[in-house]
Amino acid sequence: MKLLEFRTLLIQHPSALLRFQRPDGTFLPIHGHVSEVARVEKHYIDCVGVLRADAFCRLQTWVADDVDHRLIAGKLLAIFDKAGPVGLRDDLEVDVEHEVGFVTQMPLESVTEQGGELVLRLGLRHTDCLAQDRCQVAAPAPQAIGFRTLPKAR
């Protein structure tokens, strides 16, 4: 979702409580909040040597012990208003950084209004080869990958 579309929804529902929904359907705790708004720029070279660049708006979430804390749309708008010096642009994609045992970034896929709340649905991000047509590596078959605990080294 682009920043302009997201901000427009926040403007339309300034008193709505924000709820972040992870890709698995679970929600971040209701007292979690946005602790950082950033413009992130990435400059890199792909596997065949092509220089590339990308930029996006990142919202970092954080959950503390303050269970009375609630984030509403108008408060996030106020944070965006203060973020002028950061260089946010309306055409930037929005993603959310959140810690789930490790730090992960998830794209903001959609926002819907449900009973006075704005539900921010987060998607999955995947790695990819950006030069598949030139590096001649076949794309792997999609598969579910899980994490397991490795035994401690002795």
Please, is 57 exposed, middle or buried when counting C-beta atoms within 10 Å of its C-beta (0-12, 13-18, 19+)?
buried
Q: Which residue has the higher pLDDT, 78 or 32?
A: 78
pTM of the model: 0.83
Residue 17: closest CA among 3, 37, 42, 34: 34
Given this model, what pLDDT does residue 11 score? Answer: 97
CA dist 4 and 90 (Å) reads: 4
3-12 vs 73-82: helix axis angle to the nearest 10? 130
* Residue 44 DSSP code: E
- pLDDT digits over 22-57, tens only? 999 999 998 888 999 999 999 999 988 999 999 999
- Helix residue ranges, H only, the chain: 3-12, 73-82, 132-135
Q: What is the mean pLDDT of residues 73-88?
A: 92
Given this model, what pLDDT does residue 118 score? Answer: 97
pLDDT value at 74 more than 90? yes
CA dist 75 and 117 (Å) reads: 14
Q: What is the mean pLDDT of residues 109-120?
A: 96
Q: What is the mean pLDDT of residues 8-26?
A: 96
Given this model, what pLDDT does residue 153 score? Answer: 53
Given this model, what pLDDT does residue 1 score? Answer: 97
Q: What is the mean pLDDT of residues 48-77?
A: 91
Helix, strand, or coil here: 98? strand
